[in-house]
Structure 1
Amino acid sequence: MRSATLHLTYNVIRQMNIGPITKCPLRLRKADSRITGADLGNNRKPLTREEVIEAACGCFEKFSVSKTSIKDVAAALGVTRQTVHRLFESRSALIEAVADVRIGVLAKRLQSEFKRFMDIEEALVEGSLLSLELGGSDPVMVEIQDQADHAVDQFMFRGSANVQLAMIELWGPVFVQARSQGRLRPGISTDQAVEWIRNVHAMLIMRDDYDQARKAFMLRTFLVPAIVRD
């Protein structure tokens, strides 16, 4: 079944109750690197990666990504630059960590909407457009994607274990249903399919000359045949 392409706008996203991120969200992890009181010297409270990411996100929203330095993040936390660098070896690594968290949160917000897709082709086209549109409504993510930083560019394609897991949680039910219907090409695992979807999304994000119709055409013409059985 091929349904009409959704021409998603910011207003449509708001109506779906999955509005863009307006404050820095954190997906807390059980195993997290910490700087102890001894490492902080006069700073008694242990500093976590989450606290640094939250401070960085706040600085990005206040100053912009391009104008935020490690010094700004350290000042927001009341610690030294060296303390921040003990948790994040570079500014690029910190930007990647912020993107990692925000992508995970966006994926969580999309899960309820993905439940309505009854067909794998519909999900691959309309679900992809929805994902791209929601990501494009997050000003911090948009600016991160626009950074002239090779390491960050590579992260947008490569992702991380957390990003891959978040995408599997989002797309997994779609593939389970499609597999039970015999709709998936043989020999393709969910992990492989999700990795390819992420690569295609990263490419489409970079093509700011593509409108929704062109994106839908590329998804239907090249993504769908790569995953769906003829």
Structure 2
Amino acid sequence: MGASNDQRSAILSAAEECFARYGLAKTTMEDVARAASVSRATVYRYFADRDSLVAESVIRRARANMAAARAQLARYPTIEQALVEGICADIRRGHLDPLVHRLVSPDEMTLSTRLLIDTGRAAELTRELWEPFLAEARAAGAVRADLDLRLACEWLSELEILYISQSGRDAAALDRVRAKIRAFVVPALVTDPNAAPVYR
């Protein structure tokens, strides 16, 4: 099992190198096999096609940051700050991750929509981070009692993808996003913006 996981991880790492070198659309399974020093059949043993390699790479990178993102959420003193700064931190991570940024760029949005949105993978990753936080805040009365957490997380994932793909990376652009989250997202989700978050 361990050797199998190691080989799978090595193939994913090789795929990420190829995506950076050739681009998502131009990378072939042969390229990945060559970069990983394995046969093409070995790559196919773990991944059905290039799209599954892209999707699994994004998921792996997101989950590698999950513990740090949860710890960061727990440090904010109010639910408003947790939502505003937590979402902005997700957007910043997307801007800084070359694979994610490339995937949600205008040139690759068709691929991004197919791999992340249509399959529900983006919403799934967002739920892993935000659903426990929102559930505890709801139990504490800081978030609307009637809030559909699954739908809320799906909405947050779509907002994050939108802002990763379309907003600038500078501080002024992020401040505009921050103002929009504070004005529109926070009132839609919370009952008391000043309530202390309870997720730990």
Q: What TM-score bracket applies, with the shorter chain setting the length?
A: 0.7 to 0.9
Partner of 1:219: 181
Q: Percent identity?
A: 28
Q: TM-score, normalised by structure 2?
A: 0.75
- 1:163 deviation in Å? 6.5
Partner of 2:81: 122
Partner of 1:155: 115
CA–CA distance in 1 between the matches of 2:44 and 2:97? 26
Change in Cα spacing, 1:127 to 1:60, as seen in structure 2 (3 Å) is same
RMSD: 3.2
Q: Unaligned 5+ residue runs, structure 2?
A: 193-200
Change in Cα spacing, 1:227 to 1:91, as seen in structure 2 (3 Å) is same
Partner of 2:56: 97
- 1:215 deviation in Å? 0.8
Deviations 1:2-26 (A, max 9, x none): xxxxxxxxxxxxxxxxxxxxxxxxx
Q: Unaligned 5+ residue runs, structure 1?
A: 1-29, 35-45
What is the aligned length? 187
Q: TM-score, normalised by structure 1?
A: 0.67
Deviations 1:126-153 (A, max 9, x none): 1111111122112222222225262333
Partner of 2:47: 88
CA–CA distance in 2 between the matches of 1:162 and 1:143? 15
CA–CA distance in 2 between the matches of 1:80 and 1:160? 31
Change in Cα spacing, 1:201 to 1:159, as seen in structure 2 (3 Å) is farther
Change in Cα spacing, 1:212 to 1:99, as seen in structure 2 (3 Å) is same
Larger Rg computed on CA atoms: 1
Does the CA contact (< 8 Å) of 1:99 and 1:141 recur in 2?
A: yes
